[in-house]
Every structure is written in structure tokens, then in C-alpha cells.
């Protein structure tokens, strides 16, 4: 686990996209303020029939699946021992960290009485029958784990930093105030560097246990995200209501995780004008069809067993959404079975996008579209509700953009060429 595999992306932080994203973020967070002053009803279309809207469905259920890139890559690298994918892990973990952190934030916006959340830490209040309890604790723990996993990037930077910007700022500040800058500030800054240097090798030693925890926890809570709807036996449409919900959600998050890792890599290569990581990406893409085939088989097998195949093909409202999510996942996977298409960035992008869309639609189907509380209830998100979600997503992209420019996150460019020569060397041996 060498830290030299990663590098900062040297570029300006204040770009036009930065300004756009910042604007969206500010709008979203202003509406969050409205929600806390005038109540949930002021910004959302949620109702007693549809108590969970777009925030839980998109920000939490879909958002954490999309944030499973770090989880999927960690399985690939540490469990299936594909160390040459290691340079891709940090950007995957960074997006996971944002995904999970902001899912947690969305939950705090969504719940009515967030000040009572401390009850999750009081054993007498624990309610182990509740899938929600498991999801909540697991997601909190996993967000902490992601922070720890990302810490090496921060420590490396702290260790090497000259504090140039800060020094400059302090100098200007003190001269403006007409005072001399006290010496002890420099000492303090050196102390931070020393602590970072002391902590890094120690963290490296135990990091593997944290990483494995980072694989165990998503396995638990991603399946529990499916278990959440097991109670809604009378409300969730039979096309999706099955005892296999936890298993389906687990596999679903894995193939979304690998697909999103591909998409992220292609998009950031494109946006930051770096060479595409075609070799790694086609390798990852080879795994996805296996997962989707298992998933699709479980879906079909389960529908057959419960006698719902006819309903699935009836082409009514529910059937159409079912066929759409099924078709997107199946179509994307079909493309990936072709070895030649896996070598093409264009086809990789298309198939990964199809699978992410299909996988996400599956979660929408379970949480919203297939959910029917009874006659007279309708739900479509309000504009303000959507803008809060948009603001949160904008903040996520914004944070990613800024952090890759100040911390070593992206794969170092020359290691890629080195990798190819190394492959040649090994083959010769």
C-alpha cells in the first residue's frame, strides 16, 4: 500500500463549474433552513401515506448504493487480491465518503426529531428487531471507517505541507493588525506535522483491519436496506415484495458499485484531461456480468416461485417499471459479455451507465414506485424537495472536485506506464 501511487491534481479550484455547483449547494441548503423553521410540510410533498419520499429513496437508498464504489473496489483489491487496481481505491473511497456522509446528512434533514438521535447510542433504547436500527448504526460506523480509510491521504499531505497559504494568510493578518506574529504558531504547525508523521505508519499497520471492516459493514447494511421494506407486505407490490429483498439489495449494490467505479474513472479522466484507465476498467467490467447474472436469476427464480411471472409481463403500470429496471440491468450486462466492447471506453461508459440506471431504478421501484399505501394517496416530489436533493448532490461533486486538487487522491500517472512494463517483466520471468 504505497502512498506514491496517488497524486494531487494540480489545477485551479475556482472554475466555472465550481461556481455553478456552489450556487446549487447554497440554494439546497437555504431550503434545508426553511424545512427546519416551518416543518417538513413546507418543502416536501410527503404525506402520511407516503412518509418516505425522494430523500430516503434517492439520497439514502440509491445514494449509498452509488457510494458503494469504495466497497466494491475494496472487495476486488483486498479480498480477491487484485493489487494492481489499488491506485483506483482512493478516489473510490472519497466518493463513498461523500455519498455516505451526505446520505447521513439527508436523513438528519428528513427525520422529524433529529435531536433525539442520541437514542441510537443508549442500549436501553436499542430495538434489534428493527432493520432501521441496524442500517443506522452500520451507516454511522461505515462513515467513520471511510474517514479512517481516507485519513492516509490527509496525513501524507499534512506531513509534507509547508503551510504556505496559511503562513501567508497569518502574515497578512498580523501585519494588518499591526502586530508581530508570535513564534509559537510556527511551533504548533510543526507539531501537527510531527503528529501526522507519527500517526501515519501506525495507521498503516492497522489499516487492513479497518479496510475489512469497511467490507463487512456495507454487506450488512446494504442487505438491511432491502430488509427495511420486508414489513410492508401489504403495501409493496408483489413484483418486488419478497423474502429475498436483502439478498437482491446486496448484489444490487455490488454491481452498482463496480459500474459507478467505471463511470467515475471515465468521467474524472475526461474532466481532468487524464489518460483513460482502459486496462483496469475492462478488468472490472469483466466482473459485473457475473454479479448481474446472479441477480437476474434470483429475480426470475423468485418471481416464478411466487407465481408472479404473469404479473411481471402484464405491461400494466408496475410491470412496465419492473421490465424497465430488469431490461436496463440485463442490457448493460449483455454488452459487457463481449470482450471487445469491454476494451472500448465508449461501450464501457454506456453499459456501466445502463446498469447504474437499472440498479437505481430497482431501488426506486422498491421504495417509491411499487409502494402503494392504499386508495387516495399520491406522491410526486415537490420542487423544493428536489432542489434539496440537487443541492446535496452538487455539494458532493463540489467536494470531490476540490479535494482531488488539494490531496493526493487520483492515481499517479506514471505508475500506469510502469504497470505495463512490469507486466512485461513478469511475463518474461
Partner 1 sequence: MRKPSRRQFLKIIGTTGAALIAGRGTATASEVHHVNNDTLGMLYDATKCVGCKACMSACKRVNSDYGSLSYERAAFDKDGLWDAPQDLSGSTRTLIKLFKESDKKWSYVKYSCMHCQKPSCVSVCPVSAMTRDAVTGIVDYNKNACIGCRYCQIACAFNIPKFQWDKAIPQIVKCDLCKNTNLIKKGITACAEVCPVGAIMFGKRKELLAEAKKRLQENPGRYEQHIYGEKEVGGTNHLYLSAMPFNKLGLPILKDAAPAEFSEKIQHTIYKGFIAPVALYGTLCFVAIRNMKKGQADEEHVQVAKMGVGDDSAPEHKEDNE
Residues 268-307 that bind partner 1 (CB under 8 A): 283, 294, 298
Question: Which among 336, 412, 392, 332 has a CA at the least distance from the CA of 89?
Answer: 412
Candidate list 47, 144, 157, 372; residue touching partner 1; CB under 8 A: 47
Q: What are phi and psi of 422, to 5 degrees?
A: -60, -40
Residues 6+ apart with CB under 8 A from 330: 292, 296, 358
Specify the residue, 189 or 207, whose C-beta has the smaller distance to partner 1: 207
Q: Which of 15, 33, 114, 175 binds partner 1 (CB under 8 A)?
A: 114
One symbol per residue from 16 to 45: x for binding partner 1 (CB under 8 A), - otherwise; what is it? Answer: --------------------xxxxxxx-x-
User: Could you give the count of Cα atoms lying within 13 Å of 212 in the half-sphere of its Cβ?
Assistant: 6
CA 426 to chain centroid: 35
Which one, 18 or 244, has the nearer CB to partner 1?
244
Q: Contact letters (x/-) for partner 1, 390-419, by CB under 8 A?
A: -------------------------x--xx
Phi-psi region of 8 (alpha: psi -120 to 50; beta: other; left: phi over 0): beta
Told to check if 188 binds partner 1 by CB under 8 A, we report no
Task: Report which DSSP code applies to 187.
Answer: H
Q: Looking at residues 117 to 176 of the shown chain, list those that interact with partner 1 (rule: CB under 8 A).
A: 117, 119-120, 124-134, 136
Alpha-carbon distances of 151 from 51, 154, 202, 250, rounded to whole Å: 37, 5, 12, 27
Least distance between partner 1 and beta carbon 84 (Å): 5
Do you know the residue count of the chain?
429
Applying CB under 8 A, among 16, 81, 201, 273 the residue interacting with partner 1 is 81
Residue from 7, 167, 216, 372 binding partner 1 (CB under 8 A): 216
Instruction: Report, in Å, the least distance between residue 380 CB and partner 1.
Output: 16
Site for partner 1 in 229-258 (CB under 8 A): 229-235, 243-244, 246-247, 250-251
Torsion, CA 48, CA 54, CA 58, CA 59, rounded to 10: -90
Question: Which of residues 180 and 428 has its CB atom nearest to partner 1 in the complex?
Answer: 428
Looking at beta carbons only, is 75 or 387 nearer to partner 1? Answer: 75
Least distance from partner 1 to the Cβ atom of residue 397, Å: 27
Q: Are 354 and 332 in contact (CB under 8 A)?
A: yes
Amino acid at each position: 500500500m504505497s502512498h506514491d501511487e496517488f497524486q494531487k491534481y494540480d489545477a485551479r479550484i475556482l472554475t466555472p463549474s465550481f461556481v455553478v455547483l456552489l450556487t446549487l449547494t447554497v440554494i439546497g441548503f437555504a431550503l434545508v433552513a426553511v424545512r427546519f423553521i416551518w416543518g417538513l410540510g413546507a418543502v416536501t410533498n410527503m404525506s402520511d401515506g407516503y412518509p418516505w419520499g425522494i430523500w430516503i429513496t434517492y439520497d439514502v437508498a440509491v445514494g449509498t448504493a452509488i457510494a458503494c464504489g469504495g466497497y466494491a473496489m475494496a472487495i476486488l483489491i483486498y479480498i480477491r487480491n487484485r493489487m494492481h487496481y489499488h491506485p483506483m481505491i482512493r478516489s473510490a473511497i472519497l466518493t463513498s465518503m461523500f455519498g455516505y456522509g451526505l446520505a447521513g446528512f439527508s436523513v438528519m434533514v428528513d427525520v422529524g426529531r433529529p435531536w433525539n438521535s442520541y437514542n441510537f447510542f443508549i442500549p436501553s433504547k436499542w430495538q434489534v428487531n428493527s432493520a432501521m436500527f441496524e442500517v443506522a448504526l452500520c451507516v454511522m460506523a461505515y462513515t467513520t471507517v471511510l474517514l479512517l480509510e481516507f485519513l492516509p491521504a490527509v496525513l501524507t499531505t499534512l506531513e509534507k505541507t509547508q503551510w504556505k497559504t496559511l503562513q501567508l494568510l497569518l502574515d497578512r493578518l498580523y501585519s494588518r493588525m499591526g502586530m508581530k506574529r508570535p513564534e509559537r504558531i510556527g511551533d504548533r504547525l510543526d507539531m501537527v506535522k510531527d503528529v501526522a508523521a507519527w500517526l501515519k505508519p501506525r495507521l498503516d499497520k492497522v489499516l487492513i483491519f479497518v479496510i475489512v471492516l469497511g467490507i463487512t459493514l456495507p454487506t450488512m447494511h446494504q442487505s438491511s436496506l432491502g430488509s427495511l421494506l420486508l414489513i410492508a407486505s401489504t403495501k409493496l407490490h408483489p413484483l418486488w415484495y419478497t423474502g429475498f429483498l436483502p439478498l437482491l439489495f446486496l448484489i444490487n449494490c455490488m454491481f452498482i458499485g463496480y459500474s459507478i467505479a467505471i463511470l467515475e474513472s471515465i468521467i474524472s479522466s475526461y474532466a481532468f484531461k487524464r489518460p483513460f484507465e482502459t486496462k483496469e476498467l475492462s478488468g472490472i467490467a469483466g466482473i459485473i456480468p457475473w454479479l448481474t447474472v446472479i441477480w437476474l436469476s434470483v429475480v426470475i427464480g423468485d418471481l416464478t416461485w411466487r407465481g408472479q411471472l404473469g404479473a411481471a409481463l402484464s405491461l400494466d403500470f408496475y410491470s412496465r417499471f419492473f421490465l424497465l429496471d430488469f431490461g436496463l440491468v440485463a442490457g448493460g450486462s449483455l454488452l459487457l459479455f463481449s470482450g471487445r466492447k469491454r476494451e472500448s471506453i465508449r461501450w464501457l461508459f454506456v453499459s456501466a451507465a445502463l446498469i447504474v440506471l437499472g440498479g437505481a431504478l430497482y431501488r426506486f421501484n422498491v421504495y417509491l414506485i411499487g409502494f402503494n399505501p392504499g386508495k387516495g394517496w399520491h406522491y410526486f416530489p415537490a420542487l423544493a424537495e428536489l432542489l434539496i436533493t440537487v443541492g446535496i448532490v452538487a455539494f458532493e461533486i463540489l467536494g470531490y472536485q476540490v479535494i482531488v486538487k488539494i490531496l493526493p487522491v487520483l492515481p499517479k500517472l506514471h505508475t500506469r506506464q510502469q504497470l505495463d512494463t512490469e507486466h512485461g517483466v513478469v511475463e518474461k520471468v
